[in-house]
Amino acid sequence: MDDLERRVVILSLVARKGDNPDLWGYARLRKSILLLQVEEDVPLGFVFGMERERPVSPELQLFLERMLYDGYLLSVETPQGFRRDLGEKGLALLEAHRDISNRYASQVERVFERVRDMTLTDLRVAARGAFLSNPS
């Protein structure tokens, strides 16, 4: 999967909205991306390792920071903290590449439905379990 496809898949996830005010905090987004890659077999290609009992990917962290810097994602302050949302460039990229987002729509939807009402603690446990059962 190339960087364009990675961006579109991640933006497709961020575009999903729910009633949980914690969508999309940085930690929740990273763990949800891990679930997309490991449990839904979306070939994002990020390498994860364990750090302080949590799966982390420095590559994913840099990729998300670059998406933020380039305007694909926004950092929005809420009463619950900073959340990620779609930037104008992110909205335009999703619109221009519906074929990519449609290709992975069912996997993105399954992850969204699973995580949208989870506590962050439960999501951390799920991400750790997914990583340990399928280490990269």
d(CA 28, CA 116): 9
- The reported pLDDT for the residue numbered 53 is 79
Please write the tens of the pLDDT for every residue from 77-111.
888 888 999 999 999 999 999 999 999 999 999 99
The model's confidence at residue 135, banded by pLDDT at 50, 70 and 90, is low
The pTM of the full predicted model, rounded to 2 decimals, is 0.92
Torsion of CA 87, 61, 24, 73, to 10 degrees: 0
For the chain, the structural domain boundaries read 3-133
The model's confidence at residue 54, banded by pLDDT at 50, 70 and 90, is confident
